[in-house]
Amino acid sequence: MQNDCNLVLYSNNKPIWSSNTYIGAHDGEHKCDSSYAFMQTDGNFVVYDGNNHALWATGTQGSNYYAIIQDDGNFVIYDPANENAVWASNTNGQL
């Protein structure tokens, strides 16, 4: 999580995926130095600014969903009921 409200996956110091939630330093509405990403209990993975405003979300909904960054570099949210991927960054193979 960067201090500009952007969640970014890097490989070898190069960005391979981002939430595209970059907010400039002079934005008065958003507090980015304490922004965070959170896997909610409803199954939605959300990026929040420091004022708890949702900036981006996967839009996934389901009980006990979990998020992992796989060994191949893909960030994936899984449904534990059937182990199916319900969302992915599609960054596999970019490590």
Classify residue 93 as left (phi > 0), alpha (psi -120 to 50) or beta: left
> Beta-carbon neighbour count of residue 5 at 10 Å?
26
Q: Which domains does the chain have, with CATH numbers?
A: 8-88 (2.90.10.10)
pLDDT (0 to 100) of residue 53: 93
pTM for this prediction: 0.87
**Regions in the chain scoring below 50 on pLDDT:** none
pLDDT (0 to 100) of residue 29: 77
